[in-house]
Structure 1
Amino acid sequence: MSVSRLSTIAQDYLKAIWSATEWSDEPATVKHLADRMGVRPATASDAVKRLAAQGFVVHEPYGSIELTDDGRTHAVAMVRRHRLIETFLVEMLGYGWDEVHDEAEILEHAVSDTMIERIDLALGHPSRDPHGDPIPSADGTPHRPDGVQLSAAPLDTDLLVCRISDADPDTLRHLSAHGFALDVAVRVDAHRPFAGELSLHIGNSPAPVVLGSVAAEAVWVTVADALQAEPAN
């Protein structure tokens, strides 16, 4: 799935369109894409028009943005590159999980397809990146785990952390300081929507932790028994 024939901007937009709906049921829109890319809506709209002209997306004015088969192929290839590079930086070069996103944003456009496949081989074909986002396989198949945001998790249930959003490094550091990591056991004691927070226990710690809504929405969990029952990739 070579993406070398695309411009860097086109690669970034295709990846952002695909990623926008990976963990959300909300459709990708120009406004959402502009927020994600940190640009004005008019700039995002122009980029979408160019992608549509190239046959990578379908978009009606004021409607959702849909990837074509060709667009999806290139988008998933970029997602795979990004997440393999993040994993390599953490596991091989000792980066922190809050440091790798920006580095991967640069490197994903520079390395060859051959290097990506050698990174994959050297890492033992990992199924997820350091934040729990699934790494698509070489044929472009995504493997999103079943999970819900901690803010919507059931009470008094044995849960395991399966994903922590890397959208904000400060949130990652905050959660790490509380002991959050992939596969850590958690148990929600109480939701307090009136206060915008929840109380939970992490691992074997006897003391409860209180999280605000922003942090709670950045963590995804799955029922412990369900995750453990999944076959290994």
Structure 2
Amino acid sequence: MAKYTEMAKGVLNDVGGLSNIKFVEHCATRLRIHYINKNKVDIEALKKEDKVVGLVEKAGQVQIIIGPEVNDAYNEFLDISGFKPTDDHTISDTAEEPEEKNFMYYLNVFGNKCAAIFMPIIPAMITGGLILAIKNLLVNYFGYSADSGTALLLLNIFTAGFSFFPVWIGYSFAKSLRMEPIMGGFLGAVLYVCSDAQGLDFLGIAVPTVTYQSSVLPVILGVAVMYWVDKGLKKIIPEMFIYFLKPILTMIIVV
């Protein structure tokens, strides 16, 4: 039995079962469960579950504090509950009345979305920064040349962590929007590749060369557009063709 099996079973029961779950995600230390009906969530029971360090209530969700091993807890919860991150979970007729959508509501939504996008990629940022620091220490204090193979390799690791920002962000943002995450990462990779391309055009329409490496906003806007394109194509493409045709059309339209 896995380390978080019992916790996952208890949490699933305490939040009202799979039918009461709208979405599940996690950040660096917290398992975030978005619920449909708050009346079905047993907050006190959640606090007492094994491996649960603490609990934070937010607009439409409970944030279960696990610690650094939250990714293991998240995967175990998905296995136990049968929840699929890309499933379209609609709100049932028994859902409670939506809370008042005032300034604080939208501020919480914005903060939660930013956390969902950036928290998963923080380990890559920290690792890249520390490796750059190690490279600088070797060059400045241990006699390594800046052109040495060791220094160049460490610099390349740092560059990979930050230059591919559009790929990381595209993947995590698409995942938070309940799309296929690989499509968001694919869009980020396209932006990265097009940064060095010259003389681009599409059906005679000139495409300006813009450097998207290490950028944040362009891929966020792109994935946001992709979300609506994806939803629109789902409605008009026959189901037997959707697996192959929808990704192709989505990428052509969004890019």
User: Which TM-score tier does this pair reach, normalised by the shorter chain?
Assistant: 0.3 to 0.5
Structure in which a larger fraction of residues adopt helix: 2
Structure in which a larger fraction of residues adopt strand: 1
With structure 2 as the length reference, what TM-score do the two structures score?
0.31
Structure scoring higher RCO (CA < 8 A, sep ≥ 6) equals 1
With structure 1 as the length reference, what TM-score do the two structures score?
0.33
